[in-house]
Structure 1
Amino acid sequence: EIANESLILGGSNDQFDDGATRYNQIMGAGGPYTGTENDVRQVIPTAGTIKDFYVKLNIDPGTAPDAYTLTVRWNGATVAQSLIVTIVADATTGNDLVHNLVVAPYDRITLMVTPVSSPAEMPIACWGMTFVADVDGESVVLGGSNGDLDDTATEYHFVTPPYPQVWTANEAFRHMLGQVCTITKLHIKINDVPGAGNSYTFTLRVADAASNVVAVVTGAASTIGNSGALEDTVANDEYMGLHVVPDDTPTVRDAYWGFVSYRQPG
């Protein structure tokens, strides 16, 4: 066990597009690819590095030089240290063990899939990579939804929802975190400001109750918010969710987030 390393796992049962670039979430995914990158962004909540990117296709892309390139994008861009895997027929697997993508709180990451040479086949894919936290014991839980926030009603969501899952009025969307841990460092990014005097308050939920981990996005100047030093504990067999409460009828927006799961090393 390495105290500062954890996994980011994803995949989709949707086929690649053989004629256009498409995007998906890095963590979880499961849903279809989209041509709108911002709809599938997820927010980094703590400093670290992403490395060791592995990809598996269910079928090969066709006949060489048919291929697909998968890229881990940083804040809507492919940068020098982006993790990139190109799988050329007849292969079905690939990896990037060279690049190391340094990330910081509020960075947004996405997965981009680009066809090469008009592939004959449209595979489905799963992937995984390693997150190396600057702080030992930290791992990340990433989420987001392009579904509109309600401007008057409290709503709920998974902590890692599949695209394009919308918010719900009841607490039906929950995940089991799978370990005793401390949750902290909730970071929120919405696509535009709530408006003067308005806000959205996001709270992590544990076993149908509000936790201490709360982040607020407020006013006419900010699109981000975080929970600061607030933290809470999650026990075995306790499930989690996220809820959002609008205040003073904010402008309807959509939201993207991430938080930290911390376990004492050793």
Structure 2
Amino acid sequence: MFQDPKRYQAKYHYVAAAGADLVEVLAPQAGERVLDLGCGTGQLSAQIAAAGAEVVGIDLSAEMIEAAREEFPDLSFIVGDARDFSFAEPFDAVFSNAALHWVKPPEETLACVAACLGPGGRFVAELGGARNVATISRGLIDQLAARGFHPQSPWYFPSLGEYTRLVEQAGLRVAYASHFPRPTPLEGESGLRDWMEMFAETLTEGVPSSMREELWKAVEDAVRPALYDDGGWHADYWRLRVVAYKE
């Protein structure tokens, strides 16, 4: 899915940019150990490290980790699964931006988060929440169904109540949670199909290449009234943000 880090950074730099204020929520301190869970190409890991924290970035994509190591050779990055990780030394914080909605089941990830935090450690995360890209995904799934394809969604977009319940069941105390819209511009006239090609790859992996152009056009026509205005496309993002502590 994320085998092309250069394309990801060039077209979807807004993912890390939108996470910059989440780093402010984290408020990393000099000397703290911070795990960046789903670190991608490491831009936010570097921002955390700039505050003087010791950062370890972990991501399932070997290509993303390779790109992170090349750009930030002084930081520590490892390939790993967000559902199954552990470390010998505890962390003061686990940070995650725009990654955990790709990970199912969430209970396994949250158990690992709780286990690797030291007493008083904090979990600061943002992920896609309920209603995230609902118009895009409905349009795409409907058009796929009309052509005989019935894929399962790769995403986990929980409600605020559902996710905070799971966080607390994992043994953390939720101090703050918010669910909010973030309509996000998509670059260029091909912005929507570019987004689908990058982020909806698993939904369309069974579709022959000869059908794809017609599929993209059909989805664009279906969602245009809702997602195209002022001469451009936007994605109907809804985000879920959580801050929790281990006590």
TM over 0.5: no
Q: Normalization by structure 2: what TM-score?
A: 0.30
Higher helix share: 2
Higher strand share: 1
